[in-house]
Structure 1
């Protein structure tokens, strides 16, 4: 394992975050960690089009609360490997990655916090691996077993999800998303979020990640592999928390309750005024909710 401190972030956490590369589930992953090594483990799973860096405002507060924070670049993203082929990004494989990373780091039981696609993986993990999860926290991510049925009864959500079909087509999405220095991806972050949420330094970090060889195809393969998924609709026994930015332009707020309905115990917290990027826009409120919830993990 190679370790290096993160000196690039002006978040106060630079001296705490360590980076390493590990082998898990047959490929190599870049993983950022911080917090006491003997603390309860919590895995932060980013979504599209981010990487570990999307949790930079959460890592130090969670670590200060005594948690061992693990934030991987999921497969296809950032500095992690980008295996070829759509089949390498099936939902079960993505869930296997999380379990393998945690096992490699010595954690057989852990909490998981997931945003966007990371939240979809987290939902699937909770349904499939209840013995390994201590807590489940979801940020603006639909339960994979509810999205299609919800869209059928809520036409606006079907319209909002139209981009998913485009992302599943070959080569054209790569052309569109790479044009003009990844302008569309940058707009996805900045278009609806308050000014300054993503500054130029942050956007430079994202553009660097998106420019890595094979990155765009790998990131899009998460969408292209959706037909391979077999979402699990079984009841979720793991205590759950859903935080939802109600101004999300792509995901209706009712999806929060749709996912919660599959849980034995779930608190839903709506954040009026927050968009899809709630952990960036309201870090103080998000961190406080996560710490209060995870403290019992």
Structure 2
């Protein structure tokens, strides 16, 4: 299967894009992308997913073809989750399976936190578990004990005005740096071209930087979730060559779920684009199809 070209809808929260694929009557699977990508990140995985699934892949606010909203408050991850929920309501999706990678994995967790009864199963890929306070503190200590050089881009993006001044006109080398250096086995050129296209949309550098500018406030809120347990069956697929989401992020995650399986693939951060067949294989073993 392949994903459609972007489709658009307007909700009370704004104008958003999404892609769809698979069986229109299949079991809904909502797949949420991360930074600096878009819903296109699921295109190659979709080609290996089993029949009987209906893929709904939103573009998050500020990325893909969704609106670039000024003001960083719109980019708190709980707010981005409400954007997704508004889209699902407009599409009349009551109950669904949920997949998220990178910041999309955080937004997926926020969706599951807001409307747990509507999420039947959850898949998270290469991102922190927001209620894993113990494990995430261990990561912070480990990072601070080293050079922290892998995280330079977060400080760059959090600097007021700097991304807005320096990224326009340099979108392709900016994106290629991350898409190629955060990959272990190469990155598909069609995906790079698509992300360059959407990053050239006006106001994207600032909107995408807001994902990082809101991080500290988000983290303070997540620190209050240490006692939470995800009730839905869950799967964590980990690209084990990641230099940013390091293996320590897996510490203690079994304490955060009622039921969690952890599997690894030989890939770096963008595992769904490096190893789409293997990632889809793990999803096929876990997701329920009609």
What is the TM-score when the length of structure 1 is the normalising length?
0.87
CA contact under 8 A between 1:177 and 1:185: conserved in structure 2?
A: no
TM superposition shift of 1:179: 5.6
Is the 8 Å Cα contact of residues 182 and 207 (structure 1) preserved in structure 2?
yes
Tell me which of 186, 208, 216 is aligned to 2:205: 216
What is aligned with 1:6?
none
Could you say which residue in structure 2 is the equivalent of 1:5? none
Partner of 1:206: 195
Which region of structure 1 is more displaced relative to structure 2, 106-115 or 138-147? 138-147
User: Displacement of 1:184 after TM fit?
Assistant: 2.6
Specify the alignment match of 2:236 in structure 1: 242
Are 2:163 and 1:173 aligned?
yes
User: Residues 117 and 211 of structure 1: is their aligned pair in 2 closer, same or farther, counting only changes over 3 Å?
Assistant: same
The answer to whether the 8 Å contact 2:254/2:260 transfers is yes
Alpha-carbon contact 2:27-2:289 (below 8 Å) kept: no
RMSD over aligned CA atoms reads: 2.2
CA–CA distance in 2 between the matches of 1:202 and 1:165? 26
Matched with 2:178 is: 188
Asked if residue 262 in structure 1 is aligned to residue 256 in structure 2, the reply is yes
In structure 2, C-alpha distance between the alignment counterparts of 1:80 and 1:152, rounded to whole Å: 32
Alpha carbons 2:53, 2:289 under 8 Å: kept? no
- Corresponding residue to 2:59 among 50, 54, 73: 73
- Determine if contact 2:48/2:277 at 8 Å carries over to the other structure: no
1:52 counterpart = 2:46: no
Could you tell me how far 1:191 is from its partner in structure 2? 1.7
Gaps of 5+ in 1: 1-11
- Whole-angstrom distance in 1 between the partners of 2:12 and 2:69: 12
* Alpha carbons 1:157, 1:251 under 8 Å: kept: no
Aligned mates of 1:128, 1:269 — CA distance in 2: 26
Distance 1:96 1:81 in 2: 15
DSSP-derived class of the 1:186 partner: helix
1:90 aligned partner: 76
Match of 1:30 in 2: 17
Ranked by relative contact order (alpha carbons within 8 Å, sequence separation 6 or more), the top structure is 2
Q: In 2, Cα distance between the equivalents of 1:48 and 1:288?
A: 24
TM-score, normalisation: structure 2: 0.88
Structure-1 separation of matches of 2:167 and 2:277 = 31
* 1:131 corresponds to: 117
Unaligned runs of 5+ in 2: none
Shift of 1:148: 4.7
Q: Could you tell which deviates more after superposition, 102-111 or 145-154?
A: 145-154
Q: Distance in 2 between matches of 1:54 and 1:40?
A: 20
Out of 83, 91, 107, the position equivalent to 1:105 is: 91
Map 1:2-41 → 2, pairs under 5 A: 13=2, 17=4, 19-41=6-28
Answer yes or no: is the 8 Å Cα contact 1:33–1:68 preserved in 2. yes
